[in-house]
Chains A and B, each alone.
Chain A
Amino acid sequence: MEKKLLHFTLNGDPKTVAVKPGRTLVQVLREDLGMTGTKRCCNSGACSSCSVLVDGQVVNACSVLACQVENKEVSTVEGVAEGGTLHPLQESFLDEGGLQCGFCTPGMIMAAQELLSRNLEPTAEDVRHQIAGNLCRCTGYVKIVNSILTAAKRMREAQS
Chain B
Amino acid sequence: MMDFDVTSVKTLDEALKALSEYGDDAKVIAGGQSLLNILKQGLMAPEILVDIKGVAELDGLQIGASIRIGANTSHRTLEDASALDETWPVLREMEHDLASVQIRNWGTMGGNLCIADPTGDPAPVLMAYDAEAEIAGPEGKRRLPLEAFFVDYYETVLEPEELLTAVEAPAPPPRSGVAHEKFRNVEGDAPIVVAGVRLTLTEDHRRVEDVRIALGGVAPVPIRALEAEKVLRGQEPSDEALAEAAATAPGETAPIPDITASEAYKKKLVRVLVHRAAGRALERAKGT
Contacts and interface: CB of A to CB of B under 8 A. Distances in A.
A1 to B, nearest CB: 6
Contacts of A130: 101
B37 A44 contact: yes
Contact of A58 (B39, B96, B102): B102
Given A44-B37, A45-B33, A45-B36, A67 B101 contact: no
Contact of A21 (B1, B6, B54): B6
A55 B37 CA distance: 23
A99 to B, nearest CB: 19
B8 A67 contact: yes
Interface of B is mostly: mixed
A132 B4 contact: no
A34 interface: no
Interface of A: 1, 20-24, 43-45, 48, 51, 54, 57-60, 63-65, 67-68, 70, 111, 114, 129-130, 132-134
Interface of B: 1-6, 8, 29, 32-33, 36-37, 39-40, 49, 51, 53-54, 76, 96, 99-103, 105-106, 187-188
A45 B8 CA distance: 22
A132 B101 contact: yes
A111 B104 CA distance: 13
A60 to B, nearest CB: 5
B188 A22 contact: no
A130 B104 CA distance: 11
B105 A58 contact: yes
B6 A67 contact: yes
A48 B188 CA distance: 12
Given A21-B6, A65-B6, A133 B40 contact: no
B5 A1 contact: yes
B106 A59 contact: yes
Contacts of B188: 132-133
B102 A43 contact: no
A21 B101 contact: no
Given A24-B36, A63-B32, A65-B29, A45 B102 contact: yes
Given A59-B106, A68-B8, A43 B100 contact: no
A3 to B, nearest CB: 11
